[in-house]
Amino acid sequence: MKFWDSFTVFQKLMVILLSSTLVLVSAMLVLARWSYEQGFFDYTNALEQTRLQRLEPKLISLYEEHGSDVYAMPKDKVANIISRFPGRPANAKGPLPPDRARILPGQRAKPPTALFDLNGDFLAGSEQLINPERQFVTVDVKYHGEVIARLSSIPSRHFNSPLETQVSKQQWERSLLFGILSIAAAALLSFFASLVILKPIRRVMSTIGSISKGDYNVRLNETSKDELGELMRDVDYLAYTLHSTQWSRKQWLANISHDMRTPLTVLTGEIQSIKDGIRSFDLERLCSIEQEVNHLRKFTEDIYELSLSDIGGLRYEFKPLDLLEIVSEAVDALRLKAEKSGLTLSLVGKPVIISGDRSRLLQLCKNILTNSVDYTQSPGLVEVSVYWNQDKAVLSISDSAPSVPKGNCRHLFDPLYREDSSRNRVKKGGGLGLAICKNIVDAHKGTIVAKPSQYDGLEIIVELPKS
């Protein structure tokens, strides 16, 4: 295996394709040779059967001369008839001597032939055929439609004449030449086929090399439907994901520094103004400082909690619970805030029993509701629904204007993302609430999506499995 592993993919493809071609061509040559020989012998045996049939009239004449008794036929006359070649001059008498057999150049020698009765007993001819275990070429000798005897000869199983041997040799040489040409053509085809197959692989390797060096803008843009095309599209998606992740990381760092710098700047200004005697250190200044400190504390806690959820550090205790009861608790907690903001907060639904962590699901509901209450204009409404959709529990929270463009909805769950529209009227908040919500939903094996609502606002839909 180490020897095989030292080969390149191109070399492995060449070896596999050429080996397959060599095995296929060898099998074809062997089968072609076997088919040629079998066909040739079948043909010569068919000719032999025709020759035996041409002997039948003379045997019938001899049969009639001796009282229609096959056993009364003289053996020497039968042997004389059998030994003659069809077409031999009629005035030729007696069997041909072995050394004077009239065999033209390239002509096959007549195989040994004998006459047998219906019981298979030898009557006349070549005694080589007195062997019941051998297979023969046999022709029935009929008299007025009745079989009186059988003529048999030894079938051909090898080439006899020089011409047959020469033709067989030529056929074998041509087959070998065809095989060599086929292998050469297969080698050439394998070479180009390997290049074609490896071309997209080399493109993938080049692209992955660029990605590994930090260039996430490279794209293969492959449109083929095969497995390599699917691999190339996956590489493109990987590059896109890494590029998005890199951009999100840079944006996150920039947003964190910005969101932390704002309260720190306010705190620094407040403290400096007190030190310079511009403002007195009273309860109003202390409350202002406390507000900025609380904002920093909340922002820091959100970052810490998001980091824990990203690495799976949050603890979850899954128990059977009623999702409607948890949502009702979150709605009650934010109802007063919604009324102060001039919003109508409503809840509709039926009890939905699922398996989940109560505290995390309560946090999920409060985060989504807080986001809706903070960003919905007054007067407006926030509608909450809980229901079953086949085998999934659904939590839907819809609010009124302003909305978010459909193309930007999927970014709402990115950390520190803020929509640059009228929904950004609220300056407080770190933009981490929905990102934490997504991690909570993922931990419950569910899905969360956002889309424009029917009230010209935003709708967030959470689907959780039954168990």
In whole angstroms, give the CA distance from residue 27 to residue 274.
Answer: 99
* Domain match, 184 and 124 both: yes
396, pLDDT greater than 90: yes
pLDDT at residue 196, rounded to an integer: 83
In whole angstroms, give the CA distance from residue 448 to residue 465.
Answer: 12
467, pLDDT greater than 70: no
- Answer with the one of 266, 288, 310 that is the final residue of a domain: 310
For 87-125, the pLDDT digits (tens) are 333 344 444 444 334 444 444 456 788 888 888 888 888
204 falls within a domain? no
- 95 closest CA partner among 73, 117, 110, 105: 110
For the ranges 127-136, 165-174, 297-306, 375-384, the maximum mean pLDDT occurs at 375-384
* Domain match, 409 and 453 both: yes
Residue 390 identity: Q
105 falls within a domain? no
In whole angstroms, give the CA distance from residue 422 to residue 402.
Answer: 6
- 143 closest CA partner among 71, 64, 245: 64
For 338-389, the pLDDT digits (tens) are 999 899 999 999 888 999 988 889 988 988 998 889 888 888 999 999 998 8
Six-digit token string for 426: 């609220």
Domain count, the chain: 3
pLDDT at residue 327, rounded to an integer: 93
427, pLDDT greater than 50: no
For residue 151, report the phi and psi dihedrals to the nearest 5 degrees. Answer: -95, 135
CATH number of the domain that 245 lies in?
1.10.287.130
In whole angstroms, give the CA distance from residue 190 to residue 192.
Answer: 6
Residue 207 identity: T
167, pLDDT greater than 90: no
* Domain match, 327 and 305 both: no
Structure confidence at residue 460 as a pLDDT band (50, 70, 90): very high
3, pLDDT greater than 80: no
pLDDT at residue 314, rounded to an integer: 61
246 falls within a domain? yes
For residue 421, report the phi and psi dihedrals to the nearest 5 degrees. Answer: -145, -165
* Domain match, 23 and 153 both: yes
Q: Is 94 helix (H, G, I), strand (E, B) or coil?
A: coil
DSSP state of 213: T
In whole angstroms, give the CA distance from residue 440 to residue 363.
Answer: 9
* pLDDT, average across residues 224-253: 81
* Residue that wins the pLDDT comparison between 155 and 356: 356
CATH number of the domain that 15 lies in?
3.30.450
* Domain match, 359 and 417 both: yes
In whole angstroms, give the CA distance from residue 102 to residue 94.
Answer: 14
DSSP state of 431: S
* Domain match, 291 and 343 both: no
pLDDT at residue 91, rounded to an integer: 43
* Domain match, 190 and 51 both: yes
pLDDT at residue 89, rounded to an integer: 39
275 falls within a domain? yes
DSSP state of 444: T
211 falls within a domain? no
127 falls within a domain? yes
1, pLDDT greater than 80: no
Percent of the chain with pLDDT strictly greater than 90: 12
For 434-450, the pLDDT digits (tens) are 877 888 888 888 999 99
CATH number of the domain that 407 lies in?
3.30.565.10
Angle between helices 9-65 and 75-83 (to 10 degrees): 140
50, pLDDT greater than 80: yes
* pLDDT, average across residues 119-143: 80
* Domain match, 175 and 250 both: no
Domain that residue 300 falls in: 227-310
For 70-86, the pLDDT digits (tens) are 888 888 888 888 876 55
- Answer with the one of 260, 288, 310 that is the final residue of a domain: 310
In whole angstroms, give the CA distance from residue 199 to residue 139.
Answer: 67
pLDDT at residue 103, rounded to an integer: 42
